[in-house]
Amino acid sequence: MNCTLEKAAKLLLERKNFIFLCHARPDGDTVGSAYALKYALEAVGKTAQVLCADAIPARLEFLTALDGEGEKNAENLGDKPFVCAIDVAELHLLGHNAERYGATIGLKVDHHHVGSEYGKYNYIDGKAAACGEIIYKLIRRLEEMRGAKMTPAACTALYAAIASDTGCFKYSNVTSTTLRIAAELIDGGADNYDVCHRLFELKSRAELKARQFMLNNTEYYADGRVAFLVITGEFRRVSGANDDDIGGLVSEMRETEGVELAITLKQDVDAPEKFKISMRSGLNISSSELCKIFGGGGHERAAGASVEAATPELAKSAVLERVLKAI
């Protein structure tokens, strides 16, 4: 069932041990939000563990030890920890954790306006720019109940969560509330410079190779309104670029003058017939509606899906044909 923020806070107040689940292929919002809640609850003597089906990207690893302590084992959390899904729109996005924890999720906290209510209780705010905004409000309510503490570590993790999902506060989802929360997080001890340096400035050599590949291989359609890039498994093997290294390319493509919709089609290295679609769009095109065509979804301006095809060429043709027809 749906619940209020007040109810969500009471559910956390009543428990002592927690497991927070992030979505597979984790980004800064799911990781930062989950760890912020962990830090805030542990500051008042509770115990929590953050779990993800996939490894946390190297650029986000700093979020996992902001309190100077290592991760705890689930076995040390006592009997029946309260399981929460953080920033996970659909159950299957938990990866292999869906099978293990799907039937025991007591609370889902999310900001995606599309998704299912798979938790026993579900708090969803589709107007929030990031799940980090919701977790900020949740921790503040818990503070009032003496059930959590907004520590500098929690502030830094939340700042990273919000900055990640707003493109360092430049996307159209940013509101005055977003900026007020960011300011309060800085006042609370968030290391905003370090966060933005790590998330938006530091580049691995593999990222630079991926950017060069993008510049050389992006194609344009619909009079330049659509930018399209196929990232083959062969390139990924040769360059060593992982999902995190190539994840920012689609946003950079969208920044090109005249481009209203940017699309990357990423071939799976281990399963070459599988392709992941990532879309970024301007104000006149809905990425989420386009990705629904392929069984995916997400935000209005940033969404994803997947397709299967025998070759990159066939995958590209299938996606382009349906997208160009839709717009």
Instruction: Convert the pLDDT of each residue in 268-305 to its tens digit.
Output: 999 999 999 999 999 889 999 999 999 998 888 899 99
Judge contact between 81 and 17, C-beta under 8 A: yes
Residue 155, pLDDT above cutoff 60: yes
What is residue 108's predicted lDDT score, i.e. its pLDDT?
Answer: 98
Q: Which residues contact 204 (CB under 8 A, 6 or more apart)?
A: 58, 245
- Give residue for tokens 């998704």: 115
- End-to-end, the C-alpha distance of the chain in Å comes to 36
Query: Could you tell me the residue ranges of all domains in the chain?
Result: 5-201, 205-326
Using left for φ > 0, alpha for ψ between -120 and 50, and beta otherwise, residue 306 falls in beta
> 205-326 adopts what CATH topology?
Diaminopimelate Epimerase; Chain A, domain 1 (3.10.310)
What is residue 244's predicted lDDT score, i.e. its pLDDT?
Answer: 86
DSSP 8-state symbol, 44? T
Instruction: Convert the pLDDT of each residue in 63-107 to its tens digit.
Output: 999 987 655 555 555 568 999 999 999 999 999 999 999 999 999
Residue range 30-56: mean pLDDT, rounded: 97
Judge contact between 218 and 248, C-beta under 8 A: no
CATH class of the structural domain 5-201: alpha beta
Instruction: Convert the pLDDT of each residue in 109-132 to its tens digit.
Output: 999 987 889 999 999 999 999 999
What distance in Å separates the CA atoms of residue 275 and residue 255, rounded to the nearest whole number?
23
